[in-house]
Amino acid sequence: MKVYLCSACDVPKLAVMNKYLIEDEKSDNPMQLVELEHRMSEFLDTDYNAYFFVEENEVVGYALVRNLPEGFYLRQFFIDRDFRRKHYGTQAFNELLKVLNTNNIGIEVLPWNERGLSFWKSLGFKEAAISMKLK
């Protein structure tokens, strides 16, 4: 698997995958594709980088990473539905760590996203805080 740094020309594809991520994790984010494209452009104009995960010339997923003084923050991580349950997620994450040259990275997972929680725990992540919201 190869990891490629994305550029502004990749924003439309990143936004589509971000929309799928929002659907898959059952997020309450109401943004539509145009809004997601705009937001992704803003991310890439700041201290975020996006990366495509490519296997045999096909994009199988992406990550959106922020470089902070205390370490990296993985804001979004997505493996396309057709490539799940085939170890692409684990491979993509490990390759991403190599590209970033780090083993210090933070994530957030929605509490009802049981598959996501299970995946991240299988990679060695431990809970660091519980965030709560009154709606």
Q: Kindly report the CATH number assigned to the domain that includes residue 89.
A: 3.40.630.30
Residue 63 lies in a domain: yes
Q: How many CB atoms lie within 10 A of CB 28?
A: 8
Give the residues of the chain that fall short of pLDDT 70.
Answer: none
Cβ 53 vs Cβ 95: under 8 Å: yes
Alpha carbon distance 105, 35 (integer Å) = 27
Residue 127 lies in a domain: no
Residue 27 lies in a domain: yes
pLDDT at 5: 98
Alpha carbon distance 125, 90 (integer Å) = 13
Strand pairing class (105-106; 71-79): parallel
pLDDT at 49: 98
pLDDT at 37: 97
pLDDT at 66: 97
pLDDT at 124: 93
Cβ 87 vs Cβ 79: under 8 Å: no
Q: Which domain holds residue 44?
A: 2-122
Number of domains in the chain: 1
Residue 131 lies in a domain: no
pLDDT at 132: 83
Residue 113 lies in a domain: yes
